[in-house]
Homo-oligomer: A and B are copies of this chain.
Amino acid sequence: MAPVPNGTIPSAPVTGRLSSVYSEVQKKRVDHALPLPSVLKRPFTIIDGPPSSAAGNPDEIAKLFPHLFGQPSAALAPSDPRVAQTHRKLKIGVVLSGGQAPGGHNVISGIFDYLQERAQGSTLYGFRGGPAGIMKCKYVELTSEYIYPYRNQGGFDMICSGRDKIETPEQFKQAEETAKKLDLDGLVVIGGDDSNTNACLLAENFRSKNLKTRVIGCPKTIDGDLKCKEVPTSFGFDTACKIYSEMIGNVMIDARSTGKYYHFVRLMGRAASHITLECALQTHPNITIIGEEVAAKKLTLKNVTDYIVDVVCKRAENNYNYGVILIPEGLIDFIPEVQHLIAELNEILAHDTVDESGLWKKKLSDQSLKLFEFLPQAIQEQLMLERDPHGNVQVAKIETEKMLIQMVETELEKRREEGKYKGDFRGQSHFFGYEGRCGLPTNFDATYCYALGYGAGALLHSGKTGLISSVGNLCAPVEEWTVGGTALTALMDVERRHGKFKPVIKKAMVELEGAPFKKFASLRDEWALKNCYVSPGPIQFSGPGSDATNHTLILELESQA
């Protein structure tokens, strides 16, 4: 068991949270003891798997990672307790990279506790503010006291995060200097697909320079799009989806009680629609739009609008003038015609003056003009007026849920005139995003992260590098979870950028042939017309349901079994 100090929050006015006021629930969580997989509770040995390849273009990956390509994945296995374990002290750095996800603090406390228990006298440095902290050698030494108030707490504020990347030769040089200065044996990079790619580049670079610093990644993102067979889920997804589902469930009961609103709920998750799909499986909304399906079927915005309007009309016939509709944040990125329009607009806005009379519109292709005219006026204006510093249209700023409400209203009016709709439609828009990134981690995320961190410590202690900490068998009791590391190069493919091959870990998108989508697809027609709402309620830390994981993970693991 981890040496979690008992007692209340120290009251000393130190940095970080030590001086914070804690709620009853925070206090309870800070002292919550976490179970470890059995293999981490006893002496272990590392079993290497067969040589690995790449997710795509192995030849190019081999060229990009000459020192790391092909290395086996590693699995921890119980060892003969009579065999002496390595007890050398380590100096380890840890960094949080990118957006917040519940559980990040537990990865760090997992690493720390590993070092305390298995490599006494070790030092853990926390780089501040993300990868910039590595480059600028901005760090804090993490002690038992420093870490304590963050145990099982949400947020990344223990050392904060950042979105910088270590990319240029000069930046790699800075990282090397920091590694040398702190005499680092290892570095744990907690991040998403980009950050883990970066971790692997660092590992390759350190090895090529004969530095002793090993690098291990950890899979973090609420979006749930960093996963593969060996890494069944990214941490934070479970908590974020449960927080959003609590709110969705509440809104559903409200919709049913009032009987007069359609709630359009946009959910965070720009690239993939995993969050939206998981929330649908948890709550059974009337309509759910999955970006990957929209893209695969090459749907237009009009198609999506019509789909919603069809359901609204059918429900009106049953006297249901209310409902709940889930929309992924990245929806319009999935619609090919919108991409074309945006590209054309960016071109026009960059080179032409936009006259008020609208002559500029003649430069749009027919298809784009038609789409532009189909958009509500407010959205048209937003597209024309709000640009990012590069002068580009800010697609991310478009409130898709409000846009859809307006388009649905317009279409319903048309149908009303045609005598095909007699209902009442009132839309309410919601965006659930920031609320879910820093909640108190669920029991699952808290335990999963702790094992990821503890396992990362074990991998570094064993001299491994270029692996992503991998904890598996997650549907079994925690004791039976597997622990190891997967070669980061095995997750990689290349993309051609500026005439060069760049290594990437491709985002795991919602698979239309995958078990979670198929389950959803088999039920959505029933959900559309009946009201099968489920209200998951607030996340509980004890009692029934408190140890459950999410539908996506369970369905995926079951289908692999």
Residues of B within 8 A of A263 (CB): 434
- A160-B259, A532-B21 given; A436·B26 CB < 8 A: no
A28 CA to B545 CA, complexed, in Å: 9
Residues of B within 8 A of A249 (CB): 23
> How close is A351's CB to chain B, nearest CB, in angstroms?
27
A22 CA to B544 CA, complexed, in Å: 12
> How close is A370's CB to chain B, nearest CB, in angstroms?
26
Q: What's the tally of chain A residues with a CB closer than 8 Å to chain B? A: 59
Beta-carbon contact of B534 and A22 below 8 Å: yes
Q: Does A533 contact B (CB under 8 A)?
A: yes
Beta-carbon contact of A25 and B532 below 8 Å: no
Question: C-beta contact mask, A110-137 vs B, less than 8 Å → 1, else 0?
Answer: 0000000000000000000100000000
Beta-carbon contact of B537 and A540 below 8 Å: no
Beta-carbon contact of A154 and B250 below 8 Å: yes
Residues of B within 8 A of A282 (CB): 23
- A256-B157, A537-B440 given; A542·B542 CB < 8 A: yes
Question: C-beta contact mask, A173-194 vs B, less than 8 Å → 1, else 0?
Answer: 0000000000000000000000
List A residues 19-45 near B (Cβ within 8 Å): 20-29
Most B CB within 10 A of own CB, among A20, A22, A535: A535
List A residues 323-381 near B (Cβ within 8 Å): none
A395 CA to B155 CA, complexed, in Å: 36
Beta-carbon contact of A254 and B540 below 8 Å: no
Beta-carbon contact of A156 and B257 below 8 Å: yes
Beta-carbon contact of A155 and B253 below 8 Å: yes
Residue of B nearest to A24 (CB): B545
- A440-B538, A540-B538 given; A25·B259 CB < 8 A: no
A544 CA to B257 CA, complexed, in Å: 31
Beta-carbon contact of A251 and B434 below 8 Å: yes
Q: Does A246 contact B (CB under 8 A)?
A: yes
> How close is A522's CB to chain B, nearest CB, in angstroms?
15
Residues of B within 8 A of A538 (CB): 25, 243, 246, 439-440, 538-540
Q: Does A461 contact B (CB under 8 A)?
A: no
Beta-carbon contact of B257 and A161 below 8 Å: yes
The secondary structure that dominates the A interface is loop
List A residues 239-265 near B (Cβ within 8 Å): 243, 246-247, 249-251, 253-254, 256-259, 261, 263
> How close is A402's CB to chain B, nearest CB, in angstroms?
11
Residues of B within 8 A of A544 (CB): 24-25, 27-28
> How close is A520's CB to chain B, nearest CB, in angstroms?
14
Beta-carbon contact of B535 and A154 below 8 Å: yes
Beta-carbon contact of B536 and A23 below 8 Å: yes
Residues of B within 8 A of A437 (CB): 250, 254
Q: Does A166 contact B (CB under 8 A)?
A: no
> How close is A433's CB to chain B, nearest CB, in angstroms?
9
Beta-carbon contact of A534 and B25 below 8 Å: no
Most B CB within 10 A of own CB, among A28, A258, A532: A258
Q: Does A266 contact B (CB under 8 A)?
A: no
Q: Does A428 contact B (CB under 8 A)?
A: yes
Q: Does A284 contact B (CB under 8 A)?
A: yes
List A residues 512-546 near B (Cβ within 8 Å): 532-545
Residue of B nearest to A96 (CB): B257
- A156-B257, A160-B259, A537-B26 given; A434·B438 CB < 8 A: no
Option from B160, B253, B430 in Cβ contact (under 8 Å) with A257? B160
Q: Does A100 contact B (CB under 8 A)?
A: yes
A560 CA to B100 CA, complexed, in Å: 44
Q: Does A435 contact B (CB under 8 A)?
A: yes
Q: Does A548 contact B (CB under 8 A)?
A: yes
Question: C-beta contact mask, A77-97 vs B, less than 8 Å → 1, else 0?
Answer: 000000000000000000000
> How close is A329's CB to chain B, nearest CB, in angstroms?
14
List A residues 147-175 near B (Cβ within 8 Å): 153-157, 160-161
Option from B26, B253, B436 in Cβ contact (under 8 Å) with A438? B253
A28 CA to B542 CA, complexed, in Å: 12
Residues of B within 8 A of A430 (CB): 434-435
Residues of B within 8 A of A247 (CB): 247, 435
Residue of B nearest to A429 (CB): B431
Beta-carbon contact of B545 and A543 below 8 Å: no
List A residues 205-258 near B (Cβ within 8 Å): 243, 246-247, 249-251, 253-254, 256-258
A100 CA to B252 CA, complexed, in Å: 12
Residue of B nearest to A530 (CB): B19
Give me the interface of A with B, judged by CB distance under 8 Å.
20-29, 100, 129, 153-157, 160-161, 243, 246-247, 249-251, 253-254, 256-259, 261, 263, 282, 284, 428, 430, 434-440, 532-545, 548
Question: Could you list 22 A-B pairs, sorted by A, with CB under 8 Å?
Answer: A20-B534, A21-B284, A23-B535, A23-B536, A24-B544, A24-B545, A24-B548, A25-B537, A28-B543, A28-B545, A100-B257, A100-B258, A154-B250, A155-B256, A243-B538, A250-B435, A250-B436, A250-B437, A251-B434, A254-B437, A257-B438, A261-B434
